[in-house]
């Protein structure tokens, strides 16, 4: 394993540990990733003894370029040097109480430390001491599991997941990230212990969901969450999309499977986390709006607008950020039907102007989401939609160049209207301002001050304002 430890930082840690008479090992995700040939700059060092003392000594040797942070309450220290982050911790053994995932920690051996690891592939350690430099310690056949793409726990999975239920989320996240298979007994233990997720904070759960969502094929993670029963507990609104109902021999598509297809389609074109969440939530209101009409079949009228209203409730419950990220997801959910409707009908300048105005700088993200939303198995239908979307894109470009309506503000402000007509704030001011905006978006007048001013005078006269 010496070939993986060529970076000078390992030589410095090795020499420092030997000088202090401490056993030390690089362990966990860094070892896993170098064996998988994945780039990793986060290094975990476990020390038999004080990890903080070794970190302080290593930082001293690295000099002024190193930044040391000590966390005495956790018995850990972090050294940042150039683009590398090294976490030092003393080897420990852990025990848990039923109502908390925070362990009771005692000093331990390397074996104790490997026993407490979540999965065999994360329990791999490489010795850094000179006498055994590069020696791999693999008590649970983690290398074999890496080769076979298997996720399993080092010890009894029921105990592992009951002690720290977040590990259930981590198992599913690693399966999605690495394209690994969760060993049967391990997955059964997730199912049996799913109720334990209730002691985990929403912030921790969301952190794992975000990492899962950014994987190459995020549907893998959501399918596993659904299969083990965690999805219904964490995101019941997404779980509610499952299933197909038939009336008079007419059924609708499974909106859960459709959503995952849209998500995977989008993931091929964008790594934007919040756009991916918009894909997850774009049809979230379909269960609430589902109706059967003998003439029309299954309908989901206004599911985009109701979905938009559902987003703040979901974000608040899940401890997502209640800021511009939420507003972006709301906007995508609200507007995701608009380009599709445009692609099915004759594309009018007015409709394109309004879409540009409402989407603003997010228009490209919206178009990517809408193109990902084309999931028909009819290849000719897909070709037709994609061709029509290209027409919509060209129309958007042409209108934007000509009319400059993206993110525009009407040339006439409410303050100017009040000043000209000697009005106080009232409904008439808002009505006039709206009429000017609509006239520009409908192409009645150009997006210019003089044209807007003349239009305002005319419309004010019609309203009896002098």
Q: Are 24 and 140 in contact (CB under 8 A)?
A: no
Whether the pLDDT of residue 100 is over 70: the answer is no
* Each residue's pLDDT tens digit, 340-390: 777 766 778 888 888 888 898 899 999 999 999 988 777 887 888 888 888
Higher pLDDT pick, 295 / 18: 18
pLDDT for 60-96, tens place per residue? 999 888 999 999 888 899 999 988 899 999 998 766 6
pLDDT at 127: 95
Q: Can you spell out the DSSP letters for 163-206?
A: H-THHHHHHHHHHHHHT-EE-HHHHHHHHHTGGGGGGS-HHHHH
Pairwise CA distance, residues 390 & 257, whole Å: 26
pLDDT at 178: 95
Res 103: pLDDT? 61
Say if residue 334's pLDDT is above 90: yes
User: Is the whole-model pTM more than 0.85?
Assistant: yes
More confident residue, 235 or 295: 235
Q: What is the mean pLDDT of residues 240-260?
A: 89
Q: For the chain, what percent of residues have pLDDT higher than 70?
A: 96
pLDDT in tens, 293-326: 888 888 899 999 999 999 999 999 999 999 999 9
Question: 435: which residues sit within 8 A by CB, 6+ positions away?
Answer: 455, 456, 459
Least confident of 124-128, 154-158, 365-369, 436-440: 436-440
Tell me the mean pLDDT in the region 31-47: 90
Residue, of 15 and 377, whose pLDDT is higher:
15
Confidence at residue 397, expressed as pLDDT on a 0 to 100 scale: 86
What is the pLDDT confidence band of residue 1, given thresholds at 50, 70 and 90? low
Q: Higher pLDDT residue, 293 or 228?
A: 228
Q: What is the pLDDT of residue 165?
A: 94
- Specify the higher pLDDT residue, 192 or 338: 192
Residue 48 confidence class, pLDDT cut points 50, 70, 90: very high
Provide Rg for the chain, Cα atoms: 29
Q: How far apart are CA 449 and CA 411, in angstroms?
A: 5
How far apart CA 269 and CA 197 sit, in angstroms, is: 32
* pLDDT the model gives residue 95: 64
Measured between its terminal Cα atoms, the distance across the chain in Å is: 86
The per-residue pLDDT for 96 is 62
Residue matched to tokens 């390992």: 10
Which residues is 47 bridged to in the sheet? 24, 90
Looking at the chain, the domain(s) classified CATH 3.30.460.10 span 2-148
Q: Over pLDDT 90: what percentage of the chain?
A: 60
Residue 411 has pLDDT above 70, yes or no: yes
- What is the pLDDT, as a whole number, of residue 105? 67
User: What does the mean pLDDT of the chain come to?
Assistant: 90
Residue 4: is its pLDDT beyond 80? no
pLDDT of residue 183 exceeding 90, the answer is yes
> What pLDDT is recorded for position 42?
84
Three-point CA angle 253, 191, 119, nearest 5°: 115
Q: How far is CA 410 from CA 226, 229, 354, 413, in A?
A: 48, 51, 13, 7
Q: Which of 188, 199, 195 shows the shortest CA–CA distance to 153? A: 188
Q: What local confidence, expressed as pLDDT, does residue 190 receive?
A: 97
CATH of domain 2-148: 3.30.460.10
Cα angle: 186, vertex 188, 189; to 5 degrees:
65
């Amino acid at each position: 394993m010496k070939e993986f430890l060529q970076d000078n930082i390992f030589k410095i840690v090795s020499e420092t540990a030997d000088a202090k008479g401490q056993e030390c090992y690089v362990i966990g995700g860094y070892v896993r990733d170098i064996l998988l040939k994945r780039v990793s700059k986060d290094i975990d060092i476990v020390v038999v003894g004080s990890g903080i003392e070794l970190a302080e000594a290593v930082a001293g040797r690295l000099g002024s370029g190193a930044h040391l942070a000590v966390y005495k309450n956790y018995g850990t220290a972090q050294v940042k040097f150039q683009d590398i982050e090294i976490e030092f911790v003393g080897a420990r053994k852990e025990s848990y109480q039923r109502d908390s995932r925070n362990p009771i920690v005692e000093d331990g051996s390397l074996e104790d430390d490997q026993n407490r690891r979540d999965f065999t592939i994360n329990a791999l350690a490489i010795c850094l001491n000179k006498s055994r430099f590069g020696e791999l310690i693999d008590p649970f056949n983690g290398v074999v599991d890496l080769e076979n793409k298997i996720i399993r726990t080092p010890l009894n999975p029921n105990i592992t997941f009951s002690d720290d239920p977040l590990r259930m989320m981590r198992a599913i996240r690693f399966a999605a990230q690495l394209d690994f298979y969760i060993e049967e007994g391990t997955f059964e233990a997730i199912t049996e212990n799913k109720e334990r997720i209730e002691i985990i904070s929403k912030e921790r759960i969301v952190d794992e969901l975000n990492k899962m969502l950014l994987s190459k094929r995020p549907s893998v993670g959501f399918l596993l969450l659904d299969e083990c029963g965690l999805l219904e507990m964490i995101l019941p609104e997404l779980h509610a999309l499952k299933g197909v109902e038939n009336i008079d021999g007419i059924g609708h598509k499974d909106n859960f499977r459709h959503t995952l297809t849209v998500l995977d389609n989008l993931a091929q074109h964008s790594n934007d986390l919040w756009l991916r969440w918009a894909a997850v939530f774009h049809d979230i209101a379909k269960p609430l709006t589902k109706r059967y009409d003998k003439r029309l079949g299954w309908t989901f009228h206004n599911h985009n607008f109701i979905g938009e209203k559902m987003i703040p409730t979901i974000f608040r419950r899940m401890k997502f950020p209640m800021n511009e990220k939420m507003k972006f997801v709301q906007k995508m959910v609200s507007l995701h039907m608009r380009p599709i409707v445009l692609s099915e009908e004759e594309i009018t300048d007015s409709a394109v102007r309004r879409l540009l105005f409402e989407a603003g700088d997010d228009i490209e993200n919206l178009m990517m989401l809408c193109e990902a939303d084309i999931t028909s198995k009819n290849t000719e239908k897909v070709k037709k939609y994609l061709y029509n979307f290209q027409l919509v894109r060209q129309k958007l470009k042409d209108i934007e160049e000509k009319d400059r309506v993206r993110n525009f503000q009407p040339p006439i402000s409410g303050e100017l209207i009040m000043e000209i007509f000697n009005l106080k704030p009232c409904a008439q001011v808002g009505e006039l301002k709206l009429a000017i905006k609509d006239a520009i978006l409908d192409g009645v007048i150009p997006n210019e001050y003089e044209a807007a001013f003349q239009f305002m005078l005319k419309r004010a006269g019609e309203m009896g304002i002098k």
